[in-house]
Structure 1
Amino acid sequence: MLAAAAVCPCPPLLVPEVAGGAAHEMDPARAACADAIGVLAAARPDRLVVVGPAGERQQGAFPAGSRGSLRGFGVDVEVTLGNAPAADGERALPPSLTLGAWLLARTGYAGDVTALGLDEALDPGHCAGAGRDLVAGDERIALLVMGDGSACRSAKAPGAYDERAAGFDAGVARALGAADTDALAAVDPAAAAALRASGRACWQLLAGAAAGAGLGGRLLYDEAPYGVGYFVASWS
């Protein structure tokens, strides 16, 4: 069963060492993420699962102790998933799950943690099914769902400016704030891909996991400081 969920963005700029002199610009996002994870901790789940977008070679399950690194972003920052000893020989966490593990370590989360890398191209039905599978049974599961909104909100955004981006992100923000699983399930994969919204598949996994769970939502952060939509939401 799903006990609680948090939705957080996954830009490497969340990590102050990556952001450098601009680290303060993401302070509100970091604070909102800490609040959302605090709700997960308060739910006292049997297990927390970090879910994030991943490439074809990085998708699938990652056990506690899996390691990730931000060296690819120019900083010597390594993280381990959960409080388990670092697992030798395991696949490295993809960036989204590395950021999730970093957030959990930063907030001092002490529970049992595993992770799942989700193919961004997975269709909505498969995403929902993966969510239902995650929460099947009596184990109380919390989800930390990583992913960004559109990357086309301004001329300086990673993607070219697209006038559809603001409306797309506004719809996602409303759905996340209301814990509206139907609205999340209805997010158009083609539009999300065109607008470079990396979180679409993960939000739709959450929609499948939360269907019928009766959780309420709160939107804690909704900004696009670099032309990319970043959301933080708490469901409990």
Structure 2
Amino acid sequence: MRSAIAIVPSAPVLVPELMGSAAAELTDLRAAVVAAAQTLPARWVVVGVGDADAVIGSESAGTFAGYGVDVAVALGPGCPQAPTELPLSALVAGWIRGQANPEAAAEVRMYADSHTADAAQAHGRRLRALIDDAADPVGVLVVADGAHTLTASAPGGYDPESGAIQSALDDALAVGDAAALLRLPEWIVGRVAYQVLAGLTEPGPAGARELYRGAPYGVGYFAGVWHP
């Protein structure tokens, strides 16, 4: 059965060890992300975006070594596996799990960034059916970024039109406007994950709560909770 849905960024900057002396700059974001994840029950399904569709089980473990520091994470408690190469969304989910609920088990579902809005929405509907068939409560962690072109130093450079799009995305996530997510432009980094969320919750959640919105380093980050 469906439980809460936490929406968080797919941001390695959440991990203090990767940020060094700049870690304190993101204290508010980090606290909001952990608070959102703490609303979830002990069983998680993580929605992320990658190069291809994939399912990663809760027995998996990984490391942020590729991002500069060997910070180990796991998707489940007592994970027996040695770290393997995991996509960023899975690594971030593993780190959040360790901070918010180390006893939780997280299955990661990656969706290809090439999916159209209709295809992503259909994936969300299928995921909802799977979750609704579960006997125990299942929480969803949506790991996704917004625009990456919000300042001159942003990873994607600066696009003056992206600020308005990011504001509209933040507003949609803050109020639970699932339909608005289906109209996102393709250059929104986490577009497919947000559109899976739209299919998962259509016509929309019963309630939504914003915990954070901002654009540190020129990337749009949102943290919040939707209730089905």
Report the Cα offset of residue 160 of structure 1: 1.6
Residues in 2 aligned to 1:216 and 1:26: alpha-carbon distance in whole angstroms: 26
CA contact (8 A) 1:124 1:204 kept: yes
- TM-score normalised to structure 2 length: 0.91
Q: Which residue pairs with 1:201 in the alignment?
A: 192
Amino acid paired to 1:94: P
Where structure 2 has 5 or more consecutive residues not aligned to the other structure, the ranges are none
Alpha carbons of structure 1 residues 215 and 68: separation in structure 2 relative to 1, 3 Å: farther
2:111 counterpart (118, 121, 127) = 118
Q: Which residue pairs with 2:226 in the alignment?
A: 235
In the alignment, is residue 183 of structure 1 matched against residue 184 of structure 2?
A: no
Residues in 2 aligned to 1:111 and 1:77: alpha-carbon distance in whole angstroms: 19
SS of the residue corresponding to residue 149 of structure 2 reads coil
Residues in 1 aligned to 2:168 and 2:157: alpha-carbon distance in whole angstroms: 20
Residues in 1 aligned to 2:138 and 2:179: alpha-carbon distance in whole angstroms: 21
- TM-score normalised to structure 1 length: 0.88
CA contact (8 A) 2:75 2:105 kept: no
Amino acid paired to 1:169: Q
CA contact (8 A) 1:2 1:213 kept: no
Calculate percent identity across the aligned residue pairs: 34
CA contact (8 A) 1:5 1:142 kept: yes
- Pairing of 1:108-147 with structure 2 (within 5 A): 108-136=101-129, 137-139=132-134, 140-147=137-144
Report the Cα offset of residue 213 of structure 1: 6.2
SS of the residue corresponding to residue 226 of structure 1 reads helix
Where structure 1 has 5 or more consecutive residues not aligned to the other structure, the ranges are none
Q: Which residue pairs with 1:87 in the alignment?
A: 81
Q: Which residue pairs with 1:51 in the alignment?
A: 47
CA contact (8 A) 2:178 2:203 kept: no
CA contact (8 A) 1:4 1:215 kept: no
CA contact (8 A) 2:47 2:141 kept: yes
1:221 counterpart (203, 212, 222) = 212
Alignment size in residue pairs: 223
CA contact (8 A) 2:8 2:141 kept: yes
- Pairing of 1:152-167 with structure 2 (within 5 A): 152-167=149-164
CA contact (8 A) 1:131 1:205 kept: yes
Deviations 1:53-79 (A, max 9, x none): 1123xx310111112211111101111
Alpha carbons of structure 1 residues 74 and 111: separation in structure 2 relative to 1, 3 Å: closer
Deviations 1:117-170 (A, max 9, x none): 111121111111111111214324321001111111111111121111111111
Residues in 2 aligned to 1:216 and 1:107: alpha-carbon distance in whole angstroms: 22
Residues in 2 aligned to 1:203 and 1:53: alpha-carbon distance in whole angstroms: 9
Residues in 1 aligned to 2:213 and 2:80: alpha-carbon distance in whole angstroms: 34
Residues in 2 aligned to 1:166 and 1:200: alpha-carbon distance in whole angstroms: 15
Q: Which residue pairs with 1:72 in the alignment?
A: 66
Report the Cα offset of residue 83 of structure 1: 1.4
Alpha carbons of structure 1 residues 106 and 170: separation in structure 2 relative to 1, 3 Å: same
Q: Which residue pairs with 1:102 in the alignment?
A: 95
Residues in 2 aligned to 1:2 and 1:188: alpha-carbon distance in whole angstroms: 28
SS of the residue corresponding to residue 39 of structure 2 reads helix
Q: Which residue pairs with 1:211 in the alignment?
A: 202
